Amino acid sequence: MAGRLAGKTALITGATGGIGRATAELFAREGARLLVTDAAAGAAADLAARLRSGGTEAVGIGLDVSSEQHWGEAIAQVEQHFGRLDVLVNIAGVVDWPGVEDTDRQAWDRVIAVNQTGTWLGMKAAMPLLRASGNGSVINTSSVLGLIGSGAAAAYQASKGAVRLLTKTAAVEYATRGVRVNSVHPGVIATPMIQEILDAEGDQQPDVARTPMRRAGRPEEIAPTMLFLAGDESSFVTGAEFVVDGGLTAH
């Protein structure tokens, strides 16, 4: 039986991290052709090789999402190998924990460049191919910290809040041009980016303690939302926020 993404080509950034890898693996099982990208080119190539061993058409390349040149090269790879693009999943991100006074300018610029500018550059580069598909989907990864304040992580929260509204304005802009644009807002997820904190603090980690389900989520619990938004079941969904957080933002 054909998968839910059969015939579709997807580009995933941050594909070797926790949520990125889970998303790539699920998309592969559902029949997508994949360009998997990561700042670490070798890791992306290894992931693509593993996906190919399972029968998926997959290419892995290095991608600095803050570089317009790198984005141009990535889209050229999509055209060369697949000839079309149906889905863009912007997952690549970095975090910096200090608050307003303790964040230094270099850290601020890096977080904004990757999380915010990288998301915009990805949409800018991919839109011509997505529009040409006639049924494109952009999935931008924000965070619950793009919805609520935490009293810390000033640069990260600023960037994720920007991704939320960038998503909405792009959704309105492309609503009649064949591309849907939505955002996903994970809560505390046990990814490599925060695993050290979870290992040290466990259920006492403040955001885990405030989560009604009293645990961190797993990357595999985010990927199905990505799948829904990538597929045709979400054909009337654009400009929406999908919160997957164990109830963290419910109170």
174: annotated active-site residue: no
- C-alpha–C-alpha distance, residues 171 and 179, integer Å: 8
Joined together, the tokens standing for residue 36 give 């998997």
Q: How far apart are CA 27 and CA 12, in angstroms?
A: 10
Distances (CA, A) of 137 to 11, 81, 85, 95, 174: 11, 19, 9, 26, 10
- Name every residue whose Cβ is closer than 8 Å to that of residue 165 and which is 6 or more positions away in sequence: none
Catalytic residue, chosen from 27, 108, 156, 174, is 156
| Active-site residue set | 156
